Amino acid sequence: LLRGALLEGDRANWYAAASALGALRDPRIPGLLLAIYGSADPLQRRRILDLLGRGEDRREEVVGLLRRELRGSDPALRAAAAWSLGRWPDPLAVAALVAAATDRDRGVRTNVAGALGRLRRRETLPLLWQLAADSDAGVRANALLSLAGLRAPGSLPALVERLTSDRNPWVRSNA
């Protein structure tokens, strides 16, 4: 039934079916999502990337698709891929996120900062500190929140200083 709703073309049914699939833990779901990805429109692709990131299936095809989209031309898909890669504790995912930290799109950099925080990898601390100095407030805020979540020894004073002295009141309010 859900598979049919994904393939039939009605937009409302497609999103309802995608939401229902996201709640299931069926190992066949990633394969189905990968199969329909190529024929999906950009909004549906963003939803598929999100669902693939939430899944527990760690197949190479999923990580491969997320990494390819992170290097693609559509900034919304790059941002969605970055966010989803933050749920994959895989060295290739971390490497892809590190490479995307200098993306020209602030949405991508914002999601990279958040994704790196969710992965909780200490080797990304220097990059998160760089992102904490980004020109965009959203990137800075996510980087600072990620740094706070890592609880790196000795970084609390610098983190508090950055959070309380940021030029943007929204970033400061996250302190």
pLDDT digits (tens, 9 = 90+) for 78-123: 999 999 999 888 889 999 999 999 999 999 999 999 999 999 988 9
Nearest Cα to 93, choosing from 75, 74, 118, 110?
A: 118
Nearest Cα to 41, choosing from 23, 18, 57?
A: 18
pLDDT at position 152 over 80:
no
Residues in the chain: 175
**pTM of the full predicted structure?**
0.86
Band of pLDDT at residue 130, cut at 50, 70 and 90: very high
